[in-house]
Every structure is written in structure tokens, then in C-alpha cells.
Amino acid sequence: RTDEKLYDLSVVNAVLGGNMSSRLFQKVREECGLAYSVYSYPNFYQNNGSMVIYAGLNSESLCEALELIGNEIRILKKDKLSKNEVETTKEQLKASVIMGLEGMSSRMSSFGKSLLFENKVKDMEEMIADGKDIEVNCHFCNTAYCFTPDELKRMLKRCTR
């Protein structure tokens, strides 16, 4: 949870399975029609974390879906993300955070994360004025625009040993 690379992981997650334009959603659901739903999400803990991939599908599609998911992970590990893909993903994450400020539960979650990770609660004006807090899908990011395709590739390799 305190690893500075958790922000890189947020970007990798968004590219892999964090939204409807993600690689898993497009490949497994849209192109191949194997899953009703497919997505990924990171879990951040004090000294470790996890990256979860979920697919809601029927049992006949399981093997093919697992193969596609494995292939997408291998492709991400082997090839760097393009600068365009990184920038587009960061903008999507930023928009998601800004839109999330409209909902009370999202705001409370943001306050809780800020308290847990920074030991203080930032109000919305402070978060928006700071700007850094809305650069990625982590309301407490102080390392905005630090992501390069090489750093993201290293993060993915680290998470999928």
C-alpha cells in the first residue's frame, strides 16, 4: 500500500482489465464473446497486494477464456505499452476519479483512502487544486505523470512472477 509503484499498477490494471476499453474486455468479451463480464482490479495491503482477474462465463468457455487471458498477460509482459496507450489510460483514470466525486460513497471512499495512505483527509477543493490527486485512479497519488512504458512493463513482470 505504501509502495510508490502502486500507481504504476493502477495504470497497468486499467489497460489490462480495468474498464470497457481494456484489453481483456475487448478480447474476451467483445471479440470472442466468451464472457458476460471480464475485468481486473488490484488489492493494496500494508506489505503486499494482489491483482485479481474475474470472468463471468459458462463452463464451456472456461478453457478458451483462460487461454486468452493468459495470452493478454504474456503480451503485456513482453511488449511495452505505447506512450499513447499510457496517456489515454491516464486520462481515462483521471476522468473516472473526477466523475466519482459526484457520488457520496465515492467521496467517502476517497476520504478514507487519503486518511489511510497520507494520514490526513483532503477536502475536494484541496484534491482538485492539487491536481496530482486526480492524475491516476488513486486519490492520494503524489507522483503524477511518472509512468513510462518501461516502468509499467517492469511493474507487470514484478506482479506476475
The candidate with the shortest Cα–Cα distance to 152, out of 70, 79, 66, is 79
Question: Which pLDDT score, from 0 to 100, does residue 22 have?
Answer: 93
Calculate the average pLDDT of the chain: 77
Confidence category of residue 139, pLDDT binned at 50, 70, 90: very low
Confidence category of residue 61, pLDDT binned at 50, 70, 90: very high
Confidence category of residue 35, pLDDT binned at 50, 70, 90: very high
CA distance 62 to 117: 38
The candidate with the shortest Cα–Cα distance to 7, out of 86, 112, 109, is 86
In degrees and rounded to multiples of 5, residue 40 shows phi and psi of -135, 160
Query: What is the arithmetic mean of pLDDT over 111-131?
Result: 70
Question: Which pLDDT score, from 0 to 100, does residue 141 have?
Answer: 35
- The two beta strands, 49-56 and 37-44, are antiparallel
Higher pLDDT among residues 107 and 68, named by residue: 68
